[in-house]
Structure 1
Amino acid sequence: MPEALDAATLREALAYYDRWLAFNQRYQRVPGVQAALYVDDGVAFGAAYGLADVENAVPLTEQHLFRIASHSKTFTATAIFQLVEQGRVRLDDTAAQHVTELVGTPLGERTVRELLAHAGGITRDSADADWWQLWTLFPDRSQLLAVLRDSGSAVLPENDRFKYSNIGYGLLGLIIEAATGTSYNAFVQTGIVDKLGLTGLGPELDPNRLGEYAGGYSALSYADVRVPIDHVDTRALAAATGFFGNARDLVSYFSAHFPGDERLLSDRSKREMQHPLWTTGEADGPRYGLGLQVTKIGDREYFGHAGGYPGHITKTFTDGERRLAISVLTNAIDGPATQLAEGGLKLIDLAGSKERGEATGLDRFAGRYASLWGVTDFAVLGGRLYVIDPTNADPAAEPQTLEVDGDKLRVTSGSGYGAYGEAYAFTFGPDGAVESIRGSSGLSMQPVEKFALPDRVTVAQ
């Protein structure tokens, strides 16, 4: 169980997270959202919202598959470390020691370690990468080698700075193939996916399972409606971006990176992967290890990865110390996966931020209520009542805390612009359900399912 979270507190946090995700899928106009949380030794939460196929109104399920894109880099790094442990690859080997076509080229001298850390100074996607908008096919092996042999692909000296490179990870895929004598896809399927017994993960688009994939959709930044985007094979860039998965199996895979779990790697290898080597931008921003992003949220540090594929945006955070992993998968090219995953972690931390409250009967106040100005959530977290704005990107940002006073809830914290010191007055029906609330600011609110707008808002007569 996560540090400072008992079973009841975690249950409350996840119950509200479920409602918050459902709201944000609709509010942010994301076709579909799939999420899962792994805690300690199993999946503690899984859900899906919205549609897998908008045109045919197919509901999204927890079994639908997403293209998880750059999550592939974590599998590639895991495979490299497996080969290191087997003595078939060394982190200080140069690429050309394994991929002989690169002998005598600048990128042939980049080391495996530099490639894993995005420290090789290699072009991100080459000078012509319109495969990312499906104007051309992803490169095959010969095309990837042509990019790698091009002197212009070495855009910076090695170890100059962090320089994210899908081409560099494509090269790691070639190194795995040379070291194992088998294809990249076959090696990671056997050595990682099958070893964990996960059927909802795989290294590349599987044409036999097309009916299981959630459709991908374009953005709203340049159009009023989304259009579907076809799934395509990523070919020689599978090691950088080819993987598919569902949220449940993805968090289960990341659980194998918890300390003490040696199904895939020794703890020594995992520590090396998770150790942050490079800042990726601002000095206090996210960092990068060997195949893993390292991010600080609040006071805690998480490792994991994001993924961006034409039509799908995905994110995973893992806290090895608390044995917790969360994944959120979205099927839009502008999907807010990172925000939605961070929201779950922040709600869990908010629920466990104080000693558990002892008040009873709080659930009768909980729910979502609406006025002309928007919606307000009353949520029970850690045995306490909070007022939360579900439209806020951070659901734990300055939440109002409440104390029960009969059928009123007095505001005991929050901004001075808010309702500190005032109260929400609840009216309950004969069945005990909330009929209405007189808000702390004097506005009336109704349960959101009962709230309806007229054709035109006019002054009451």
Structure 2
Amino acid sequence: MTTTPEAPEVPTALTAPQIADLRAALPYVDGWLAYRRWRERVPGVQAAVWFDDALQLSSAHGLADEEAGAPLTTEHLFRIASHSKTFTATAVLQLVERGALRLDDPVGQHVPRLAEAGSRLADATVRELLEHGAGVIRDGLDGDYWQHGRPFPDEAELIEMLLDRGDKAPAGAGFNYSNLGYSLLGLVVAAVSGRSYGDFVTESIVEPLGLRHTGPEWDESRADEYAAGHSGRHVSQTRVRLAHVDTRAMAAATGFYGTASDLVRYASAHFDGDERLLGEHSKRLAQREAWQSDASQPESAHYGLGFVIDRVGGHRVVGHSGGYPGHITRTLFDPALGLAVSVLTNAVDGPATALSSGVLRLLDLALEPAPPGLATRASSSGVDPARFTGRFAGEFGIVDVALLGENLVALHPSGADPVDGMDRLRVAGPDELLIARGNGFGAVGETMRYEFDADGRVSRLRGAGGMSMRPVTELEG
């Protein structure tokens, strides 16, 4: 019988040494992202990490536009799509805190057209819309606006889509993710606030946090700042550039743009103890698990009020992903630990979810105490373990020897999960590492032998199985 290894215990607060370990791990994390972008042949990847009340990593790899060959920067704007739902939920909760509406208000009270038409959606509550429990159809009967087959709907068309078989299930019957439901919430925000949806979220969320590169809708005046969207490679090896368009009445569900660094700053306002946007009670409501996305799958994600709640490693993480024509994105954060990660990609098949989870897995490894006898800080060898680190390749693959916190490990960046299949290493001498723990199909109990040049740089590594591997920088040269 096989057993699943337990997830490492995650701290509930960061100490000064742990913060130092996380910062020291970031160069490797960024190098891993760069390699994964290259291996997956994604045009561009923008990423950011936030902890200790500050932006700790902001990076960009690859191209903003394959056709033009333009390098991606940390200030290129991405369409962050369903991240918009977190902004919409935050706006609704702000209005609740101000006493302007109640979560249990029927939506028809604020959008009377539904009640006038006799739609049962008029009786669904604001809370049910926020948690995708109102039974609203996902995208309507003609969703080709997602493929640029037609414009996104304006307000009049949105209402007609909701009235045309828009109620696919009774309110409260189950979890039914709905972009039209969140678009309807945008109408509620406008009606209650007396402002347009875009103006309200800008004034109540974007501007107070100083998010200079974030907004609720396509901004034609900043067109040159956007990373181009690209098609996927599921039917062709050649990517096609996809245009940015206005999402009109669906901005509350999918219109927002932003950068990774702005998104982790925004996430920090949802950490425990931060009340710049919402009080503690409202944040608890937003981040509690209202529905499970697939009750038949125990590990499937949950949904709160505008936020996805998931597990990565030992973390209970909160956040959202986003899928827009040409951009796939994901932001996740641990509100108790005060740690946030955001990864944005500019292709329909961009692996933003895997990359963001991978970053968190690597940071967790940097926080994890080493097993007995393998803590590098307690080594009596007198050899600096950092001298063995680097990326090495041979005919059969690639391996990263990395020092993350007190863990000296061999990682395999070819896989989506950077920690899966890792070997734990121990310094055995000035030119040798022992593979102390790992999968028995590998070379546990054997050594990795190094050769160094006159400047102390690795010239060759005899890795698992005794096969020669060279530093990747040398192979690339």
| Structure 1 residue 327 corresponds to structure 2 residue 350 | no
Q: Deviations over 1:11-47 (max 9, x none)?
A: 2321211110000110000000000011031101111
Assess if the C-alpha contact under 8 Å between 2:412 and 2:421 holds in 1.
no
Question: Are 1:367 and 2:390 counterparts?
Answer: yes
Please give the secondary structure, in 1, of the residue aligned with 2:30: helix
CA distance in 2, matches of 1:388, 1:284: 25
Aligned pairs (5 A) from 1:161-240: 161-240=174-253
1:456 aligned partner: none
Residue 440 in structure 1 maps to residue 464 in structure 2: yes
> Is residue 35 of structure 1 aligned with residue 47 of structure 2?
yes
What SS does structure 2 have at the residue aligned with 1:208?
helix
Corresponding position of 1:140:
154
State the distance in 1 between where 2:213 and 2:124 align: 34
Opposite residue 145 of structure 1, the aligned amino acid is I
Contact 1:95 1:110 in 2 (8 A): yes
Q: 2:328 & 2:154 partners in 1: Cα distance? A: 24
Q: CA deviation at 1:284?
A: 2.7
Alignment partner of 1:92 is 2:104: yes
Distance of 1:316 and 1:173 partners within structure 2: 22
- Equivalent position of 2:424 in the other structure: 401
Q: Which residue of 1 aligns with 2:9?
A: none
- In the other structure, the counterpart of 1:3 is 14
Q: Is the 8 A contact 2:328 2:346 kept in 1?
A: yes
Q: d(CA) in 2 for partners of 1:351 and 1:318?
A: 17
**1:418 matched to which residue of 2?**
442
Letter paired with 1:366: T
Secondary structure of the structure 2 residue equivalent to 1:451: helix
The alignment covers a number of residue pairs equal to 452
User: What residue is the counterpart of 1:311 in the other structure?
Assistant: 326
Aligned-pair CA distance for 1:452: 6.6
Distance 2:351 2:198 in 1: 29
On the 8 A contact 1:40/1:322 being kept in 2, the answer is no
Q: Distance in 2 between matches of 1:242 and 1:35?
A: 20
Pairwise CA distance, 1:134: 0.2
Paired residues of 1:114 and 1:158 also in contact (CA < 8 A): yes
In 1, Cα distance between equivalents of 2:158 and 2:439: 55
**Pairing partner for 2:126 from 109, 112, 124:** 112
- Normalised by the size of structure 1, how large is the TM-score? 0.96
- Name the SS of the counterpart of 2:92 in structure 1: helix
Instruction: Report if the CA contact (8 A) 2:376-2:385 is conserved.
Output: no
Deviations 1:84-143 (A, max 9, x none): 011111000011100111113111111000000000111000010100000100000000
Q: 1:399 Cα deviation (Å)?
A: 1.3
Deviations 1:157-177 (A, max 9, x none): 111111000000000000011
Superimposed CA distance per residue, residues 50-107 of structure 1 (whole angstroms, 9 cap, x where no aligned partner): 0001111111011000000000000000000000011111000011100111113111
Aligned equivalent of 1:21, options 29, 33, 53: 33
Look up the match of 2:474.
450
1:357 aligns with 2:376: yes
Seen in structure 2, the aligned counterparts of structure 1 residues 2 and 54 have a Cα distance that, compared at 3 Å, is farther
Q: Name the CA distance, whole Å, in 2 between partners of 1:252 and 1:84.
A: 23
Alignment-mate amino acid for residue 466 of structure 2: G
Residue 241 (structure 1) shift: 0.1
Aligned-pair RMSD on alpha carbons?
1.3
1:251 partner SS:
helix
Task: State whether structure 2 residue 63 is matched by structure 1 residue 51.
Answer: yes
Structure 2 letter corresponding to 1:138: F
Could you tell me which runs of 5 or more consecutive residues in structure 2 were left unpaired when the two chains were aligned.
1-11
CA–CA separation in structure 1 for the residues paired with 2:461 and 2:314: 36
Alpha-carbon separation, structure 2, partners of 1:219 and 1:398: 29
Residues 1:294 and 2:305 are matched in the alignment = no
After TM superposition, the structure 1 = structure 2 runs for residues 228-307 of structure 1, keeping only pairs within 5 Å, are: 228-281=241-294, 282-307=297-322
In 1, are the aligned partners of 2:376 and 2:408 still within 8 Å (CA)?
no
Aligned to 2:5: none
Q: Offset at 1:2?
A: 5.2
Output the amino acid matched with 2:207: D
Taking structure 1 as reference, are residues 181 and 452 closer, same or farther at Cα in structure 2, changes over 3 Å only? Answer: closer
How far is 1:268 from its partner? Answer: 0.6
Distance 1:189 1:299 in 2: 35
Confirm or deny that 1:131 pairs with 2:145.
yes
What letter corresponds to residue 409 of structure 1 in structure 2? L
Superposition deviation, residue 288 in structure 1: 0.3
CA contact (8 A) 1:2 1:40 kept: no
* Counterpart residue identity of residue 394, structure 1: D
Counting only pairs closer than 5 Å after superposition, residues 61-72 of structure 1 correspond to structure 2 as 61-72=73-84
Equivalent position SS for 1:270: helix
CA distance in 2, matches of 1:341, 1:357: 27
Q: In the aligned structure 2, how far is the partner of 1:83 from the partner of 1:222?
A: 45
Shifted more, 156-165 versus 72-81: the winner is 156-165
Alignment TM-score, normalising by the size of structure 2 = 0.93
Instruction: Answer yes or no: is the 8 Å Cα contact 1:126–1:153 preserved in 2.
Output: yes
Percent of matched pairs sharing the same residue: 49
Structure 1 unmatched ranges of 5 or more: 454-461
**SS of equivalent to 1:354:** coil
Mapped partners of 1:357, 1:291: distance in 2: 43
Matched, 1:429 2:441: no
SS of the residue 2:47 aligns to: strand
Q: Secondary structure at the match of 1:92?
A: coil
Deviation at residue 3 of structure 1 after TM alignment: 3.3
User: How far apart in 1 are the matches of 2:367 and 2:196?
Assistant: 46
Q: Which residue pairs with 1:457 in the alignment?
A: none
